[in-house]
Amino acid sequence: MDPKNVIICRCEDVTLADLYELFEEGYQTFEELKRIKRVGMGPCQANTCGKMVQWEIAKYFKKPLEDVKFQNTRPFTLGVKLRSIKEGADDEN
Amino acid sequence: MRTEAKYVIIGGGISGLSIAYNLANKGEKDIVVIEKDYFTAGATGRCGAGIRQQWGTRLNCLLAKKSIEFFEKAQDILDYDGDIEFKQEGYLIIGSNDEEDEMFDANVKLQNELGIPAKKLSKEEAKTIVPYLNTEVVHSATFCGTDGHLNPFTMSDAYYKAAKRLGVEFHTYTTVLDIMVEDKKITGVLTDKGEIRTNIVINAAGGYAKHIGDMAGVEIPVYSQNREILVTEPVEKMQGPMVISFSKNIYCQQTPHGAFIMGRGDNREKGYTTESTWQFLDEMATTATTLLPPLGELRVIRQWGGLYNMSPDHQPIISDAKAVKGFYMACGFSGHGFMLAPMTGLLLSEMILGQKPTLPLEDLKLSRFEGKNLAAMEKSVV
């Protein structure tokens, strides 16, 4: 299958071809890929694409999967409306 | 790794990259950049992506104005194949009391004198720029249409690629362990990957600038402090300018990508943590939904923290060091190193090469803190 047609990150529309292009330019880590192409930065927070990105890095650079670092995991796990956070804060006060 | 270099720049954030690019662009060779993590891992990649010229001190106004003039052409000058996402839709600065109103008058006067097209606005005028602004909590405002947004990642990448084409060498995931000094002169840098002999070290280590200064025996009067920030899911375009308020403690903008970025400062302890807290979320959500009510419907998807490197007068330190020959620094940006980077690189390279400086260097130097009262203090900081 043409890597241009393989969507890796569904939130930010990043294809496998996009990843290959970055690999060829010398970007080798999840954190770098994320910053240039936004892979893993969308609403799902890499819950969908994270493992696939890790696999592709491992395959391309011929490293064992366990040596490929996952991206920094940051809050939130799930999107929450600002209004809900404010109402929660009001309830506590 | 090479064992000798003319210049060793410590820090792969926007300042270090701009310094590397400017030195190389002036024809210098043998430049090495050492970064302990990946590019923009520190404050650059954690910042609010805003670019403004509306400052309260002459120095900050000029640094910002000249930096924006570079950003306007950066895509072409650096011949970048990506998109730096520069948009000039302004900064709307909101004031909530008489004291701030007076500060606005003085600031706008200064900015206009320096050629920055800022103007003072009534709260009704402010509402014409951001229609959903809750004017009940606004006293007055200022606006400058040429301020705006710039993508910290791609802007850094643009500098990185341009510097690389000019022959600069980069070592990421490399940690500086010590700096060697003999007879008050720099002689080398020790890293976890080996030693590099050099006579010039440039400290662009952002939040860790003080540590690097200590290694060379140069005391730098800066400290670091965590500032938190969040981002929402992307939505259709609804807000042009950055909305910012010093008294309400908020900055908030919609990026070209569609997501809203917002942050605030607080009186957290000095130190190096970049943790995320629920207190920030509660305060941020309350402030944002009060000032800009429709934003309440946006979902927050991520939060993080980053280090402000604070100087005594909240203005940058771009300087040599009297105590150690060959040691230079660009630090203490007090939260605004990203937007001033073009001038940081230009001025420091002019200083090192003994060229005529684009702006007077004395006000930027470390020596301005020696013994006397500070001439000017920047208060326009979130």
Nearest to A32 among B39, B284, B303 (CB): B39
pLDDT in tens, B241-270: 999 999 999 999 999 999 999 999 877 789
Is residue B123 within 8 A of residue B136, CB to CB? The reply is no
pLDDT in tens, B103-150: 999 999 999 999 999 999 999 999 999 999 999 999 999 999 999 999
Q: Coil, helix or strand for B199?
A: coil
* Domain range for A74: 3-92
Could you give phi then psi for residue B335, rounded to 5 degrees? 100, 5
Asked, for residue B215, whether it belongs to a domain, the answer is no
Listed in sequence order, the residues at least 6 apart from A25 whose beta carbon sits closer than 8 Å to its beta carbon are none
How much of chain B exceeds pLDDT 70, in percent?
99
* Domain range for B129: 93-144+223-307
* B74 has pLDDT over 90: yes
pLDDT value for A73: 87
Q: How confident is the model at residue B372 (pLDDT cuts 50, 70, 90)?
A: low
**Closest-CA distance of chain A to residue B40, Å:** 9
Q: Strand pairing of B7-10 and B200-203?
A: parallel
Is residue A19 within 8 A of residue A36, CB to CB? The reply is no
Distances (CA, A) of B116 to B111, B130, B380: 5, 21, 16
Is residue B284 within 8 A of residue B277, CB to CB? The reply is no
B39 to A41: CB separation less than 8 angstroms, yes or no: no
Q: How confident is the model at residue B229 (pLDDT cuts 50, 70, 90)?
A: very high
Mutation site, A13, A35, A82, A84, interface B, largest B CB count within 10 A: A82
Q: Is residue A89 less than 8 Å (CB to CB) from chain B?
A: yes
Q: Is residue A31 less than 8 Å (CB to CB) from chain B?
A: yes
Q: Strand pairing of B299-310 and A80-81?
A: antiparallel
Listed in sequence order, the residues at least 6 apart from B230 whose beta carbon sits closer than 8 Å to its beta carbon are B261, B262, B263, B280, B281, B284, B300, B302, B303, B304
Asked, for residue B27, whether it belongs to a domain, the answer is no
Q: Please list the residues that pair with B320 across neighbouring strands.
A: B328
pLDDT value for B70: 98
- What residues in B contact A35, CB-CB < 8 Å? 38-40, 45, 153, 157
> Average pLDDT of B31-60?
96
CA-based nearest residue in chain B for residue A83: B296
Is residue B11 within 8 A of residue B37, CB to CB? The reply is no
* A91 has pLDDT over 80: yes
The number of folded domains in chain B is 1
Nearest to A85 among B40, B282, B302 (CB): B282
Q: Is residue A80 less than 8 Å (CB to CB) from chain B?
A: yes
- Write down the mean pLDDT value for chain B: 96
The number of folded domains in chain A is 1
Could you tell me the two tokens for B22? 């400017």
What DSSP assignment string belongs to B100-118? HHHHHHHHHHHHHHTT--E
pLDDT in tens, B144-182: 999 999 999 999 999 999 999 999 999 999 999 999 999
B301 to A42: CB separation less than 8 angstroms, yes or no: yes
> Average pLDDT of B353-364?
95
Is residue B319 within 8 A of residue B352, CB to CB? The reply is no
**Closest-CA distance of chain A to residue B381, Å:** 24
> Average pLDDT of B89-105?
97
Asked, for residue B322, whether it belongs to a domain, the answer is no
Nearest to A80 among B45, B284, B300 (CB): B300
Chain B residues whose C-beta sits inside 8 Å of any chain A C-beta: 37-41, 45, 82, 153-154, 157, 232-234, 257, 276, 281-286, 288-289, 295-304
B302 to A42: CB separation less than 8 angstroms, yes or no: no
* A85 has pLDDT over 80: yes
**Closest-CA distance of chain B to residue A35, Å:** 6
Is residue B341 within 8 A of residue B330, CB to CB? The reply is no
> Average pLDDT of B222-233?
97
* B371 has pLDDT over 80: no
* B190 has pLDDT over 80: yes
Asked, for residue B55, whether it belongs to a domain, the answer is no
Q: Strand pairing of B50-51 and B299-310?
A: unpaired
Query: How far, rounded to the nearest angstrom, does the alpha carbon of residue B120 sit from its chain's CA centroid?
Result: 25
* B208 has pLDDT over 90: yes
Q: What is the CATH number of the domain that holds B276?
A: 3.30.9.10
pLDDT value for B266: 75
* B373 has pLDDT over 70: no
pLDDT in tens, B329-342: 999 999 999 999 99
pLDDT value for B263: 97
B297 to A89: CB separation less than 8 angstroms, yes or no: no
Residue B237 carries which side chain, given as an amino acid letter? K
Q: What is the CATH number of the domain that holds A35?
A: 1.10.10.1100
Asked, for residue B107, whether it belongs to a domain, the answer is yes
- Write down the mean pLDDT value for chain A: 94
